[in-house]
Structures are given as C-alpha cells and as structure tokens.
Amino acid sequence: MSVARFLTRTAGNRETAQRFGLQDVLAYGYLVLGVLMILVPVLWTLFSSVKSETAVDSFDTRLLPLAQVTAEIEGEGKKPLWVLAEDGEERLVFKAGPTRKITEVSPLDDPDTVLEVPREQLSPHEELRIATENYLDPILKRNGQTTFDFFTYLWNSVFVTVAATLITLLINAMAAFALSKYRFRGRLTFTILIVATLLIPPSIILVSLFFVVWSFGIFGSLWGVIIPAAATPTGVFLLRQYMLTIPDELLEAARMDAASEWLIFWRIVMPLSLPALSVLAILSVIWRWNDFLWPLIVLISDPTKHTLQLGLTQFAGEFNSDFHYILAMTVVTLIPITLVFVWLQRFITTGIATTGLK
Amino acid sequence: MAGLMMALLGLAWVIGGSLWLLARRRYALRQAPQFAMDLLGVPVDLAQRVFGRGGVPYALLLPNLLIFGFFTFLPMLLNIYVSMTGGSSIALFDRPFVGLQKFAELFDCESLLIPKTCTNAGYNFWTGMWNTLLFVLVQVPVMVAAAMVTALVVNRDIKGRGFWRAMFFYPVMLSPVVIANIWNWVLHRKGALNAVVGEAQGGLTALAGMAGFDIVMTVLLGIVLMVVTERALRAGEGPSLAWRAVFGGLFVLLAAWAQPLSLLGLPGSTLAGAVLAAGLLWCVANDRAARAALTLAAVLAAAMLLAIQFDAVFDFGRYRPTNWLVTPNTGWPFFWLVFVFCWSHMGFYMLILLAGLQAIPRDLYEAARMDATTPWRAFWRITLPLVMPTLTVVIVLSLIRSFQIFDEVYLLTGGGPGRETFMVVQNIYEVAFSSNNPDYGQAAAGSILMALVIAVFTFVQLWLTRRQSEL
C-alpha cells in the first residue's frame, strides 16, 4: 500500500468508499479559516486581559501573561529586575541609573556595587503571573477604580434582560395565540399591521420615541428600556407560525371540559409551543443584553441606571489608556453571554434554523 | 403622574383580580402558582365573561397592540409632526410650528452629491447619508455572499457540523461594545494585527534572502501548477469544479506577484488576473472550449512563473505599522468597518440561509447526479432558484439592518477619521441627543428622509424578486 493511499483511505469497501476529495479539503480549509477569524480576536482579548499592566501598555504580543518581577530594594523602593547575561553566567540586577547604551546596574545580592554594562546584555527577568488585579480592581473598587460600579450595572442589565424577556414572551404568545387560533373581525388587519412593523427600523423612530417615552414618564428609568421593545413583530410572527401547527381539536376538547380560554392558552398552547418560545427567549435575551443605542439615549444621564454595556463604554472613554482594565471588563461582559451560548448552542443553531425564523 | 397611574392600575389588577378570583373558587395554599396564572389572566377571563368567546382575542391582543401603537405607530406619525417643529423643548406642545423649514435646511445645497456645498446641517446629514449608502452597497453583497458560502459549506456532509455552525453563530451573541473593544485591541497601532503582519513580513523577507530560494520556489510552484492543471484538465472522470477553483486562485496569485501589466506601464495586474481567472472559470463551467481555455491559461501561468523573481516578491522592505482605524484617505477604516460588521452579523443570516438550504429535497441532487450534472451547474439550476425566497428575505433584512449601523462605528472610529465613516444614524443621534442645543426637528426630518431611502431600497428589492418573494 502506497503512502498516499494509506493516508487517504476511508471506511467502506472498494465500491462504497468515499475519497476525501479536494472539495472536502477546500470546505474544511474554509471552516478552519473562518473559525480562526472568529476565535482568535476573542481569545487574544481573553489572554491579554490577564497580562500585567506594563505588558498590556507595551503591547506585549506574547501569548502567555509574562510579567517582569519587581523586588524591594533597601533605600531604592520597588525596582523591576533584569537578567544580566555575562560570559554564559546570569545575574539578577536592577537599574541604578537611566537606560543608556552603557547602563549602570547593581546586582541584587550586592546592591552597593555599580556595574557598567552594555544595554544589550540586559533582558527583563520575567515570571508567569496572572494579573487578577485587572479584574478585581474595578469590580471591588480598589486602587482608585471607583467609577465603574460593576454590581449596579450587572443588576441593571440582568433586570432589563429578564423582565423584558418575560414580558416579551407573555404578550407575544398571547397575541400569537389570538392571531392563530381565533377567527375574528380584523384578524388580517392586525396580522398585517404587526408584520409590517418588521420593516420599520427602530432607528428611524428614535426621536419621536424619545418624546413618547418622555411623556409616559418612564424616561431615565429601566422601564423606558424594557417596555418599548417588549412587543416584537419577529416574536409574534415566529410564535404564530408555530401555533398554527397545533391541532384545533385539542382546544375543542378542552372547551368541552369547560376550560376557560385563558386556561387553554396557559395549560395547552404554551407548553406545546415550548420550542418556539425558547427560541424567542434566547433571541430576546441576546437583543436585550446587547442593546446599546436606546439605553444610551434613555439611561445615559443617570449613572446608577447604566447597564453593563453603557458602563463599559463610559469606562473605556474615561480610562482610554488603562487598557488592562478595559480588556478585563470586556471579558467580564463577554462571559455571561458566552456561557449562555455554550449551554444553549445546540438548541440555538437547530432551533433558529428549523422554526423557519424570518 | 404616569407612574402613579401605572401603580393604581397594577393595584386594581392585583386586588380586584384577587377578590374576583377568590369569590369564584377556593384555592389551597399549594395552588399558589395556579392562582398567579389565573391572576395574570383576569382581563382575558373578564373579557370572556362579559363578551363571550368573541371578546377573548381582542383581550389577548390588547397588550401587544398597546405597545405597538404607542411605541411604534404613534412615533411614526409623531415623527412627521416633530419634523415640522423647531426649538429644543421636550414638551411636545411647547414646540413652535415651523412647517417644512427643517427639510429646507437639509436640502439647502448647491448639489446634494457634494455635501460641502450645503449648510452645516445639510453637510452633516448628506455626508452621513452618502457614507451609509456606500456602506450598504458594499456591505450587503459581501455579507450575503459570505453567508451563502458559509451556509453551503456547513450544509455539506462534514464532520462536527454542529460545532462549525455554532462557531459561526457565536459573534452574533456578542454586544457591539464588546466587539468594538476586541477589534480596537486587535487593530490598534501597536495591536495584534500589526505585530502579526510585521513578523510574517520580516520572516518572509529573511527566508527570501537565502541562497537558491528563487529556484526552489519556482520548481515547487511549477510542480503544484502541473498537478493542478492535470487535475483540472482530466476528462472522462467528471470535471472537478474544485480543482478549477484552485487553478483560478493560483492564477490570480501569480498575476499579483508577476505584475505582467507593469511591463506596459499599467497598474492593476491583480485585478486583471482575477478577471481573467473568473472568465476562465466561467468558460470552463459552461464547457465552452474548456480544454483550450484552460491550456492557454496554464501556458500563461507557466510564463508568469518563470518571470517571477521570488526574492523580490517577498522583500517587503521595512514594515511600518498602519494605524488601521485612524489614518485618513487610506480606505482602511471603512474596510475594517465592513469587515467587523460582517464578522459580527454573518452568522445570523447564515442560519436563515441554512434553513432554506435544508428545505431543498435531497432527491433533486440525486437526479442531477444521475444526469452527470456538474456541481457548479447544480448550484445555479437547483440550489439558487430554490433558496431564492430565503435569499430575498435575507437581503431585505440585512439591507434594513445595515442602514441602521451605528453602534460599531460610533465605538470603533467615532465617525472618523474626519467624516470618513460618519453614518446617518450617528448624525441623527448627535443632532438630537448629544449636543448642548438639541434640534429634534432636524433629527426627525433626517429620520424621515432615511426612512424614505430605506423604503425605496426595500421596494425595489422586493419588486426585482417579486416572483420568488415570500414577504
């Protein structure tokens, strides 16, 4: 058996065997390239977020969080340590003067002597250290990081996401139930009205929505973010399509048993449309958690009402140079949605694809 | 005031509903969830009591329609009113009526195509509008094509399908803020991309400096070229589209390196190579003098191969990092916006297209294979027509979505450098919400114009595909 045949042989016998053709090579190449393009920036941010402040500031492109070791020197304070390589021998030193072509250094074990060595012989003494302070400082408000009120933002984000999703699910399911299971005057009009809103982009009603929300008195409160977005045409449409497949006989049977219409909705239709409901729930969670423009308009003036996304932009704007904190907080905002994704990914990809979402 | 009303309404609901329910039936303590469910449905039950079953659908629709009415349809009508008022008052009836003055301000230009000739308001608006149009015209085809290719690939019988699909969907989950921070970190002047590009170029240049590199490269590429040509030319066994695609790619690469047009003093060899390769693929796909065209192209490629000095190709000189998002007049900020937008939104459209692809019956492809149809032909004649309704939906949705681009641009470039990436939604946002002297009227007028443009685009799109559309 030749090497090439050995490498390309596949399962099955001579007739049924599928060769691993060039099309497969191209397909897998495309997939690997695409996934690299998606994962590398995210992972890069993740790895960078645990690097020390100096490493982040100097844009250290190495993958591992290597940080220069500092040591307390008597009479000098904290000094970064360098490795002096001389004749195959390595000594730990610290700088005793400014960095020039010939730099003055002192050995760690003998701080009083001053050596003059060429700069090229010095390399930073590094150790592997995960900079947890990038995360802990802003969250626990240490080291003067007082403006980023993590737990308030988290609570606001969670509240908006959960409340909006529950309301969305309930009222969209009610509307979808009415539109799919009853014949009444104006049914077509309502359906067309609701589906037509699919084509109205939120950003063109921005200004007047602001006026409406203001006159309802919910401007500047979390409800101003939750309520306007609660009725989504996508949700009604998706649930309606799904509920149309539920047989009417089930409902009739329940009516024979003198169940009220609400009981039918709650006890029969809702459990049966669980797959569609969960897809809508996932979508709603993504939309609300990631929402940016509308919260920016409604909530920006009150820092105690900021969501995580708003808090993060404000934070990044204020500390434009403190990349290590920005990266860490970015990762923190990324983690919940990534966990949701990892947990539900099988469901998301099959669910959205099979419920025929438009 | 409104808060008080809401509280009173809620109180009436909870207390009145509880009394009503408790009067009608008794609940044991463990039936608390059912009680909550009944309490939630009190208005619906009430409607059924009073109006019979005919009243129920209206009660069910009520909350949804209230929200749609107040927060979607009312703002649409209000937009027109607001656009005809001036001043910066938030109280709706305090605003002086100015008629069409706000529109006139936007249209006060010598030429709409050159925003510089407008007044200030018009300048900002039309700059944003033309930038957005350019963005949409570039971005929608690129994203739809990428989504289509990805959907086709993950629809194949590949290993770990679920994993690949999930990975491509993952960026859809990320928020614009996170996306902007991640890409800012990558595209920063000293960021990851510049480091990687710099290292790769340095490495290649060093490699090219070694003795004999030219000969080794030419021989290696020559062998690859021969194998690919042989594979692509092979008759009888069924023509292979994939091998021809590889050949086309190789050809473009060679043209880019050899720069044959530069002998005539012309630029643009890469583009010419790409056009040639595409034409070749088209010829071959339609089986028109395929062998002759392919042989000719192979001879051309061989000639180019012999002309290339590889150490010159890989000598990039000293690489200077580019400030991707900041340097003006390079087109890079715009490119990266398109890229990042595709990166983050492609997965969603890929999934919708995937659903469309999976609805195509398998036996159609089997019948096509019986008739020895090429995969290329099968794509044009089976896949594309049948997936067209879904494709239309995807195009319309992505068009509407791209028109609204704001978050990523605002956070990545802030509209800069200069006004190169200033989008129309950012103009609306800045006019109405982030200036000291907000001009709601002008912002509303801008939104109406934007709505008109979107409507025109959507209807043209739907009209063009009227026979296939599902909308």
Q: What is the pLDDT of residue B346?
A: 92
Contact A327, A248 (CB under 8 A): no
Residue A8 clears pLDDT 90, i.e. is over it? no
Q: What is the distance in angstroms between the Cα of A121 and the nearest Cα belonging to chain B?
A: 23
| The three-state (H, E, C) secondary structure of chain B, written as one string | CHHHHHHHHHHHHHHHHHHHHHHHCCCCHHHHHHHHHHHHCHHHHHHHHHHCHHHHHHHHHHHHHHHHHHHHHHHHHHHHHHCCECCCCCCHHHCCECCCHHHHHHCCCCCCCCHHHCCHHHHHHHHHHHHHHHHHHHHHHHHHHHHHHHHHHHHCCCCCHHHHHHHHHHHHHCCHHHHHHHHHHHHCCCCHHHHHHHHHHHHHHHHHCCCCHHHHHHHHHHHHHHHHHHHHHCCCCCCCHHHHHHHHHHHHHHHHHHCHHHHHCCCCHHHHHHHHHHHHHHHHHCCCCHHHHHHHHHHHHHHHHHHCCHHHHCCCCCCCCCCCCCCCCCCHHHHHHHHHHHHHHHHHHHHHHHHHHHCCCHHHHHHHHHCCCCHHHHHHHHHHHHHHHHHHHHHHHHHHHHHCCCHHHHHHCCCCCCCCCCCHHHHHHHHHHCCCCCCHHHHHHHHHHHHHHHHHHHHHHHHHCCCCCCC
Q: What is the pLDDT of residue A352?
A: 66
Q: What is the pLDDT of residue A15?
A: 52
Whether B425 sits inside 8 A of A293 (CB atoms) is: yes
Q: What is the pLDDT of residue A358?
A: 40
Nearest C-alpha in A relative to B78? A208
Chain B residues with beta carbon closer than 8 angstroms to that of A196:
none
Q: What is the distance in angstroms between the Cα of A318 and the nearest Cα belonging to chain B?
A: 13
Q: What is the distance in angstroms between the Cα of A54 and the nearest Cα belonging to chain B?
A: 14
Choose the closest CB to B171 out of A38, A260, A289: A38
Residue A70 clears pLDDT 60, i.e. is over it? yes
Choose the closest CB to A178 out of B61, B450, B458: B61
Nearest C-alpha in A relative to B92? A211
Rounded Cα–Cα distance for residues B35 and B14 (Å): 11
Chain A residues with beta carbon closer than 8 angstroms to that of B344:
none
Rounded Cα–Cα distance for residues A293 and B411 (Å): 11
Encode pLDDT of B213-227 as tens digits: 778 888 888 888 888
Q: What is the distance in angstroms between the Cα of B66 and the nearest Cα belonging to chain A?
A: 9
Chain A residues with beta carbon closer than 8 angstroms to that of B190:
59
Whether B57 sits inside 8 A of A182 (CB atoms) is: yes
Q: What is the distance in angstroms between the Cα of A48 and the nearest Cα belonging to chain B?
A: 9
Chain centroid to Cα B342, Å, comes to: 5
Residue A172 clears pLDDT 50, i.e. is over it? yes
Whether A216 sits inside 8 A of B186 (CB atoms) is: no
Q: What is the pLDDT of residue B123?
A: 86
Whether B186 sits inside 8 A of A41 (CB atoms) is: yes
Question: What are residue A104's DSSP bridge partners?
Answer: A116
pTM of the model: 0.83
**Which of B49, B136, B185, B390 would you mutate first to test chain A, the one with the most A CBs within 10 A?**
B185
Q: What is the distance in angstroms between the Cα of B192 and the nearest Cα belonging to chain A?
A: 6
Whether A59 sits inside 8 A of B191 (CB atoms) is: yes
Q: What is the distance in angstroms between the Cα of A18 and the nearest Cα belonging to chain B?
A: 12
Chain A residues with beta carbon closer than 8 angstroms to that of B72:
197, 200, 205, 231
Task: Quote the DSSP letter at residue A250.
Answer: H
Nearest C-alpha in B relative to A307? B177
Whether A31 sits inside 8 A of B153 (CB atoms) is: yes
Whether A208 sits inside 8 A of B58 (CB atoms) is: no
Encode pLDDT of A102-117 as tens digits: 777 777 777 777 777 7
Residue A245 clears pLDDT 70, i.e. is over it? yes
Q: What is the distance in angstroms between the Cα of A216 and the nearest Cα belonging to chain B?
A: 6
Q: What is the pLDDT of residue B340?
A: 93
Chain A residues with beta carbon closer than 8 angstroms to that of B162:
345-346, 349-350
Kindly indicate the confidence band of residue A353, based on its pLDDT and cuts at 50, 70 and 90.
Answer: low
Which of A8-12, A276-280, B364-368 shows the lowest per-residue confidence on average (mean pLDDT)? Answer: A8-12
Chain A residues with beta carbon closer than 8 angstroms to that of B469:
none
Whether B440 sits inside 8 A of A207 (CB atoms) is: yes
Rounded Cα–Cα distance for residues B285 and B281 (Å): 6
Q: What is the pLDDT of residue B471?
A: 42
Nearest C-alpha in A relative to B438? A207
Whether A358 sits inside 8 A of B352 (CB atoms) is: yes
Whether B245 sits inside 8 A of A210 (CB atoms) is: no
H or E, element range at A117:
strand A115-118
Whether A41 sits inside 8 A of B192 (CB atoms) is: yes
Contact B340, B350 (CB under 8 A): no
Chain A residues with beta carbon closer than 8 angstroms to that of B170:
38, 338, 341, 345
Q: Flag residues of chain B having pLDDT under 50.
A: 236, 469-471
Task: Quote the DSSP letter at residue A107.
Answer: E
Rounded Cα–Cα distance for residues B335 and A302 (Å): 35
CB atoms inside a 10 Å sphere around CB B191: 22
Whether B428 sits inside 8 A of A174 (CB atoms) is: no
Choose the closest CB to A357 out of B343, B352, B407: B352
Q: What is the pLDDT of residue A203?
A: 85
Q: What is the distance in angstroms between the Cα of A339 and the nearest Cα belonging to chain B?
A: 11
Whether A27 sits inside 8 A of B156 (CB atoms) is: yes
Whether A201 sits inside 8 A of B451 (CB atoms) is: yes
Q: What is the pLDDT of residue A105?
A: 78
Mean pLDDT of chain A, nearest integer: 81
Q: What is the distance in angstroms between the Cα of B113 and the nearest Cα belonging to chain A?
A: 22
Choose the closest CB to A48 out of B45, B171, B185: B185
Whether A197 sits inside 8 A of B68 (CB atoms) is: yes
Rounded Cα–Cα distance for residues B429 and B125 (Å): 11
Encode pLDDT of B392-437 as tens digits: 888 888 988 898 888 888 888 888 788 888 999 999 998 888 888 8
Q: What is the distance in angstroms between the Cα of B94 and the nearest Cα belonging to chain A?
A: 12
Chain A residues with beta carbon closer than 8 angstroms to that of B404:
201-203
Rounded Cα–Cα distance for residues A299 and B431 (Å): 18
Chain B residues with beta carbon closer than 8 angstroms to that of A35:
164, 167-168
Q: What is the pLDDT of residue B113?
A: 77
Kindly indicate the confidence band of residue A18, based on its pLDDT and cuts at 50, 70 and 90.
Answer: low
Choose the closest CB to B60 out of A174, A194, A231: A174
